[in-house]
Amino acid sequence: MRTILLLEDDENLNRGIALKLQKEGYQVFSAFQISEAEKLFDENRIDLVISDITLPDGNGLEFCRKIRNKSKVFVLFLTAMDSEIDMVNGYDAGADDYITKPFSLMVLVSKVQAFMRRMEGVCGHNRILSGNIEVNYGEMRALKRNADGVTPLTLSKKELQIMIYFMENARQILSKEQILEYVWDVDGQFVDDNTVPVNISRLKGKIGNDYIQNVRGMGYIWTEESVQE
């Protein structure tokens, strides 16, 4: 059963969301303060975090940053802070999606299901290999093999998601729109026009320029064949 950590200090809202998600077949751990959420996160295997930003004992952005230091779990902000800069700050903190209050429970459920489908997409395989790069799905960890042995690749979550998307669609041209939809846009998120090129440029700098090539007017292509095991 997939697990969700719900951090929301409004008791009625917390209870309503938890009941709906439980009816959809998820196990929900409810927290009303960051201290409770941190304890639950450390003691349980969590697949998705849904968090408010303004909380009694701190800021959800800082909680998200702490999570990002130790996990690549999906994080969804659910908050009344609805300005463009608030959303940008949320994504900069490491969030995968951002929903503003008031919101539809059905929209929330659809986003949760979309995240879980992404997770299920890698089930059945332990790793993917391409050239001298390997990604371990379970650990969400990337390695690069060279003459001196194996070197861990230090990638941001977005860079890793982009690389996996390329590797799973090796030798196929992927448009900027496809990459945005897969990596950022579960259902319409704010992203800058330069987001994809900037992240791909950073990724190239870490793995080498040979793997990803620009295809003028069409997008990008991963040049090596890939194998899933």
Q: Within this chain, do residues 100 and 153 fall inside the same structural domain, yes or no?
A: no
Q: Within this chain, do residues 73 and 166 fall inside the same structural domain, yes or no?
A: no
Q: Within this chain, do residues 85 and 140 fall inside the same structural domain, yes or no?
A: no
User: Quick one: pLDDT at residue 121?
Assistant: 55
Q: What is the CATH number of the domain that holds 37?
A: 3.40.50.2300
C-alpha to C-alpha distance for 37 and 31, rounded to whole angstroms: 5
Which residue among 120, 136, 160 closes a domain?
120
Tally Cβ neighbours within 10 Å of residue 172: 12
User: Quick one: pLDDT at residue 156?
Assistant: 86
CA dist list (Å): 37 to 9, 56, 108: 11, 12, 20
Contact 49, 93 (CB under 8 A): no
- Tell me whether strands 97-100 and 74-79 are parallel, antiparallel or unpaired: parallel
Which residue among 120, 142, 171 closes a domain?
120
Mean pLDDT of the chain: 87
Q: Within this chain, do residues 104 and 180 fall inside the same structural domain, yes or no?
A: no
Q: Within this chain, do residues 11 and 109 fall inside the same structural domain, yes or no?
A: yes
* Domain ranges, residue 196: 127-228
Using pLDDT thresholds of 50, 70 and 90, give the confidence band for residue 120.
low
Question: For 16-20, 28-32, 190-194, 220-224, which range has the lowest pLDDT when averaged over its residues?
Answer: 190-194
Q: Within this chain, do residues 143 and 175 fall inside the same structural domain, yes or no?
A: yes
Q: What is the CATH number of the domain that holds 143?
A: 1.10.10.10
Q: Within this chain, do residues 102 and 149 fall inside the same structural domain, yes or no?
A: no
Q: Within this chain, do residues 154 and 99 fall inside the same structural domain, yes or no?
A: no
CA dist list (Å): 177 to 43, 190, 193, 218: 38, 13, 10, 10
In the predicted model, what is the mean pLDDT of residues 154-172?
89
User: Quick one: pLDDT at residue 71?
Assistant: 84
Question: For 101-105, 111-115, 168-172, which range has the lowest pLDDT when averaged over its residues?
Answer: 111-115
3-state helix, strand, coil in the chain (%, to 5): 40, 25, 35
Question: For 23-32, 111-120, 173-182, which range has the lowest pLDDT when averaged over its residues?
Answer: 111-120
192 has pLDDT over 70: no
C-alpha to C-alpha distance for 184 and 177, rounded to whole angstroms: 10
Which residue among 120, 138, 155 closes a domain?
120
Q: Within this chain, do residues 140 and 112 fall inside the same structural domain, yes or no?
A: no
Torsion angle, alpha carbons of 9, 10, 13, 17, to 10: 10
- Tell me whether strands 48-51 and 3-7 are parallel, antiparallel or unpaired: parallel
Using pLDDT thresholds of 50, 70 and 90, give the confidence band for residue 163.
very high
Over residues 62-73, the pLDDT tens digits come to 999 999 888 878
Over residues 29-58, the pLDDT tens digits come to 999 999 999 999 999 989 999 999 999 999
- The most confident of the ranges 14-18, 115-119, 146-150, 165-169 is 14-18
- Tell me whether strands 149-152 and 141-146 are parallel, antiparallel or unpaired: antiparallel
Count of domains for the chain: 2
Q: Within this chain, do residues 112 and 165 fall inside the same structural domain, yes or no?
A: no
Q: Within this chain, do residues 112 and 154 fall inside the same structural domain, yes or no?
A: no
- Residue showing tokens 């690749």: 153
User: Quick one: pLDDT at residue 124?
Assistant: 52
